[in-house]
Structures are given as structure tokens and as C-alpha cells.
Amino acid sequence: MSMFCYQCQETAMNKGCTIRGVCGKTPETAKLQDLLIYMAKGVSAYCNILEGKTELSGDKYKWVINALFTTITNSNFDDEAIMAEIRKGHAYKKELGVKVNELGITIPDKYLQFLQCTYHITSEDDSIDFDEKGISAPNENNPLLDRACNISSKESMIEFGEKVGVLRTENEDIRSLRELITYGLKGMSAYVEHAMNLGSENCKIYSFMTRALAELDNDTLSVDELVALTLETGKYGVEAMALLDGANTSTYGNPEATQVNIGVKNNPGILISGHDLKDLEQLLEQTKGTGVDVYTHSEMLPANSYPAFKKYDNLAGNYGGSWWHQTKEFISFNGPVLFTSNCIVPPRGQASEYIDRIYTTNSAGLTGAKHILKDKDGKKDFSAIIEHAKKCASPIEIETGTVTGGFAHNQILAVADKVVEAVKSGAIKKFFVMGGCDARMQDRKYYTEFAEKLPKDTVILTAGCAKFRYNKLDLGDIGGIPRVLDAGQCNDSYSLAVVAMKLQEVFGLDDINDLPIVFNIGWYEQKAVLVLLALLHLGIKNVHVGPTLPAFLSPNVTNVLVEKFGVGTISDVDSDLAKFL
Ligand code: SF4
Ligand code: SF3
């Protein structure tokens, strides 16, 4: 086995990628990412020990958040960038370790594993006296304490990464819960980082994230304690999504119902992908009056519905479908593409021709692409992309018309009276929450067919890139209410929960599960894992997750989710429709 990763829905054979990632991740990248997560656990353990005992600068927490985000599926394929983050984490561990010693703090046993290791691999002094430092001496039985583990070269990092990956935890139920929490935290990192880029922070969430991460290699934690930590991850997931929702809407206004152009204009264009609205704002500002248009791609589509972005004439609309179509669509787009987060597909074959047109920023990275950093005030200079675009042909039109967006909580609640009336009169019989992710496997056709076959008295509530499976179908409306209400990006799933809670209140129901709402969610990467945990925290039962249940759920953990929360998966469209209706 040259690697092991099972964090996304496309993992090989729904078991695990062991030779190379289906996503394109090489074994080297996979091991470097494992090491980066390990470093994040170590920095987190130190943050935890020192919290309340000394002033901790925010950069440590931010580094942890960025490390998690870097390892989300399809975020970063650039080994050099990952190694740079490992080195940074390593330096933080060293700095925090020295602080712990200075303050004479005894390291709790549960963290010894990380922290012994830090000393062991960072000490330039072979005669270091671990006892004197209040740390037990390295233990021969612990492979992590191998003196050869160091970060001086890529090879040594990879060698170390191999020892700290997922399979290090032998018990499959413990491993399953640890990874479920890890992936939830990865999802959370994305949401808090986007909020942070807009100046919205919540130290309670950061504290939780480092506490949870540091507990993940604590062998004394019982299964019940890990289950409790899993649910707590969902609780903070709701807070993280609320934080980002507040950041987005207070900065750019509440999304409003909008017809988004999916055709093209005559100017050269820049395509912006990913989820970061601050980057879009800066790009729109800098392209104003340059003769270059900006198009959104995949998860950036919902940006077209924010009042602040609608004001820009140079925002031309959305180009293409969900992320996995990019290897074709970037060729016909002709201009440069900026990734502000996942999902990147490493270009191969004919698609390699556009690698020099790819730019990344934030935690996104791809070998061969140019990376744009922010300055100390958070400003980014996109002039290189704009100059690049000017030399490119305008995009080739691949479709025409519009798609409807902008139905986040504020817009839905603005038509709440109409919706309630339609439910009371029987014009709307059921809501189907079909948010989440899209991906390339054939079995995802299920979601298109499911949307098509839903009776005309049902409404789809969606968020995330899952919508591209059905948002261009003509599904009509019910008394002026579109049958597909798109709340926005995956993080805007929060909007759908807000709407559900509002409907519960309006209908005077004690239990949210008595609402006529079915949850049939498509998942792919770790943000969707956090959305699931958030829904469980909100007490929402019978969530269906497809097209398959996560490979990282062991049979016992799956049983807990089935018995306690009624979590299930999908079968075929007709049987599921019969069941749900
Ligand atoms: Fe495989 Fe998904 Fe991991 Fe990529 S992210 S290596 S496809 S499990
Ligand atoms: Fe999509 Fe990657 Fe999940 Fe944000 S962009 S929902 S998959």
C-alpha cells in the first residue's frame, strides 16, 4: 500500500485510495498531508496547554485552520506549498514547546505522544534531558519517536508522514470516529477561514477546533467520549456556518432572487472558482474599467445574487457546471482561472494545455500554477491575472440562458407567507433538501432523475455544487415560488436549517422532524461531512446521504448513526420516491 486516504466519496472501491488518489493526489502528497495534520494536532495540543496561561498570538490558530483547509479534497496538490506549511507548524511547535518549559508546565500524559516527538525530532541536542523537561523519555515501542524522523528533506517528511496516517489507529471504530471528527474539522476550517478573510472571527470556535484536534490521538478517550466530541463538532459547525453567513451578508448584503447569465460576452474573461467572496470582491474591483470580464465558476455561482456584486458591470455571469467538468470547460474558457479554494482537478493530457492559465490563492495549490499571496492588510494584487486575461481570446459559449439563484434564508423568509399558504392549501406537499456536493461518478445521475421525477407539488431546497445536477432543468414553479430554491454555496446549507426552524415555528411544531421535509443529500468532500454533523446537532433525523455512505464509517459507527439519528443512504429513484412520499 503506497498511501491510505478514504476521506471523500470517490475513494477507490468505496474503501480507500491505496495506490494513488482518484482525485489525482499522489502518494507523496497524501503522506505530506498526513504529516501536516499531525503537525496541526501537535500545535493544537500546545495551544490547549497554554490557553489561559499565557498570551497566545492568533497566528497559531490561523495556521491550524489553514493546515486543515489545505488537506480538504481537491484543495492543494502542491508538495512545496504543503512542505512549507509543515515547516511553519514545526517551528510553532518548537516555539510553543519552549514556552511550556519556560512556564514550568507539566505536559498532560494524553499529549505526550505529540510533544515527546517534537522534542525528539527538533532537538539539535542529542543529550536532551527529557526528565528534566518534565517529559517522559522517548519510548522504543512508539514508532513516532524514531530519531530518524525529521523534516530536513522531502523524503524524511514523507517517511514520517507514513507513520502518522489514518491507519495508525488500529481499532476501526476509534479510527472511524477520529476521522469523522477530523473531516468535520476540515469542513469547519473552510468556513471559518472564509469568515476570517472578511474580518469575522470567533475565538470560541478556534479553541474548540484545537481542543478537538489535540484529542484525536488521545488513546485514553473512550468511544462514548469520541461520540460526544463528534456531536460537539456538529454544534460548532452550526456556529461556524452562522459566523460565515453573518460575515457574508453583513459585507455584501442578503442574496436576492436573481437570474444569472450562463452565456458569454465578447470581452476576454477571468474565471473565479472556489468559495471565497473577499477574493471575488478584490478581483471585481481591480478589473473595473480594464475591458476584462469576470465569470464565476461552480461554487462561486451564488455570488451573482449578492447585492454588492450585482453592482459590477464586469461580473458577466457564470461559466460551466460543477467542479469536475473543469478539464473540458477551462479549455473553452480561453482565459485565466483563479482558484480561491477547492475543487481543483489536476489537469492531465489535453487539459495540461491550460496549466499556465491557473492561479491559486489561500489554501488552494497546484504544482505549475501561480500562487497569489495577500499582503499584511489582506490585500491581493491580481494585476498579473488581469494582464494575462487581456492577451487571451474571449470565452467560447457553451450554453445560453439563465439559472435562478439567491434563495438564502432572507429571500425565502421574505416569501414565507406565500410558502406557508401553499403548504396549507396543499399546493406544496413536501420539501426535499437536496444540497451538498456533486462529483463525477455515474451513479450521481440519480440526483438528476430524482429531481425530474419529483411530483409537481414538491419543492427542492438546495445549496452547494449538488445543484448542478438539476438547476438547469425546467422544473417550473408553484404559484410563483420556483421549484428549485438555491440557497447558495455548501456553507449556505445553514440557510436551509434556518428556513426549517422558521417553518417549525410558523407551524407551531414541537419537533422539527414533523415538518414535511425530506433530507436527501449528496456528499463528496469534508465540508459536507460538517453539514451532516451540523444537521444531527440540530436534531434533524432521517438524513439520507448518498450516493454511498462514507467509507470511513465503520459498521458499528454506522449503526449508531442509523439507530440514534435514522441516517440512511439511497437506493434507486423509484423506490426512494415511493418511500419518501
Ligand atoms: Fe482518494 Fe478522496 Fe482521498 Fe483523493 S481525497 S485520495 S479521491 S479518498
Ligand atoms: Fe462542491 Fe467541491 Fe462540495 Fe462546496 S466545490 S460543495 S464539492
C-alpha–C-alpha distance, residues 164 and 143, integer Å: 9
Q: Does domain 408-580 have CATH number 3.10.20.30?
A: no
**147 CB-contact burial (10 Å; exposed 0-12 / middle 13-18 / buried 19+):** exposed
Each domain of the chain, given as residue ranges in start order, spans 12-168, 258-390, 408-580
| Predicted pLDDT at 145 | 38
| Predicted pLDDT at 124 | 45
Of all ligands present, the nearest one to the C-alpha of 444 is: 2
DSSP labels, 440-476: S-GGGHHHHHHHHHS-TTEEEEE-SGGGGGTTTS---
Whole-model pTM: value is 0.95
Of all ligands present, the nearest one to the C-alpha of 526 is: 2
C-alpha–C-alpha distance, residues 178 and 223, integer Å: 10
Mutate to test the pocket of ligand 2, among 188, 465, 489 (most ligand atoms within 8 A of CB): 465
> How many Å lie between the centroid of ligand 1 and the Cα of residue 525?
9
Of all ligands present, the nearest one to the C-alpha of 23 is: 1
Please state which CATH number belongs to domain 12-168: 1.20.1270.20
365, 76 contact by CB (below 8 A): yes
In the CATH hierarchy, which fold is given to the domain comprising 258-390? Answer: Rossmann fold (3.40.50)
Could you tell me whether strands 481-482 and 484-486 are parallel, antiparallel, or unpaired per DSSP bridges? Answer: unpaired
The set of cell numbers assigned to 519 is 433530507
Is it true that 12-168 and 258-390 share their CATH fold? no
Output the residue whose Cα is nearest ligand 1's atom 6: 21
> How many Å lie between the centroid of ligand 1 and the Cα of residue 359?
22
Of the CA atoms within 13 Å of residue 64, those in its CB half-sphere come to 30
> How many Å lie between the centroid of ligand 1 and the Cα of residue 5?
6
Of the candidates 228, 252, 254, 237, the residue with the CA atom closest to the CA atom of residue 202: 237
Output the residue whose Cα is nearest ligand 2's atom 2: 343
5, 25 contact by CB (below 8 A): yes
C-alpha–C-alpha distance, residues 265 and 178, integer Å: 48
Mutate to test the pocket of ligand 1, among 6, 9, 15, 25 (most ligand atoms within 8 A of CB): 25
Angle at 100 between CA 99 and CA 102, to 5 degrees: 60
| Predicted pLDDT at 526 | 98
> How many Å lie between the centroid of ligand 2 and the Cα of residue 150?
35
Could you tell me whether strands 293-296 and 76-77 are parallel, antiparallel, or unpaired per DSSP bridges? Answer: unpaired
Of the candidates 490, 562, 496, 571, the residue with the CA atom closest to the CA atom of residue 526: 490
Which are the contacts of 78, defined by CB distance < 8 A and separation ≥ 6?
A: 360, 365, 366, 367, 369, 371
| Predicted pLDDT at 95 | 86
pLDDT string in tens for the chain (581-residue length): 799 999 999 999 999 999 999 999 999 999 999 999 999 998 999 999 999 999 888 899 999 999 999 999 999 999 999 999 999 998 898 888 888 878 888 778 777 656 655 544 344 444 444 455 444 444 444 433 333 346 889 998 998 898 889 998 999 999 999 999 999 999 999 999 999 999 999 999 999 999 999 999 888 889 999 999 999 999 999 999 999 999 999 999 999 999 999 999 999 999 999 999 999 999 999 999 999 999 999 999 999 999 999 999 999 999 999 999 999 999 999 999 999 999 999 999 988 999 999 999 999 999 999 999 999 999 999 999 999 999 999 999 999 999 999 999 999 999 989 999 999 999 999 999 999 999 999 999 999 999 999 999 999 999 999 999 999 999 999 999 999 999 999 999 999 999 999 999 999 999 999 999 999 999 999 999 999 999 999 999 999 999 999 999 999 999 999 999 999 999 999 999 999 99
**Ligand 1 residue neighbourhood (C-beta within 6 Å):** 5-8, 10-11, 17, 21-23, 25, 30, 73
The set of cell numbers assigned to 98 is 519552549
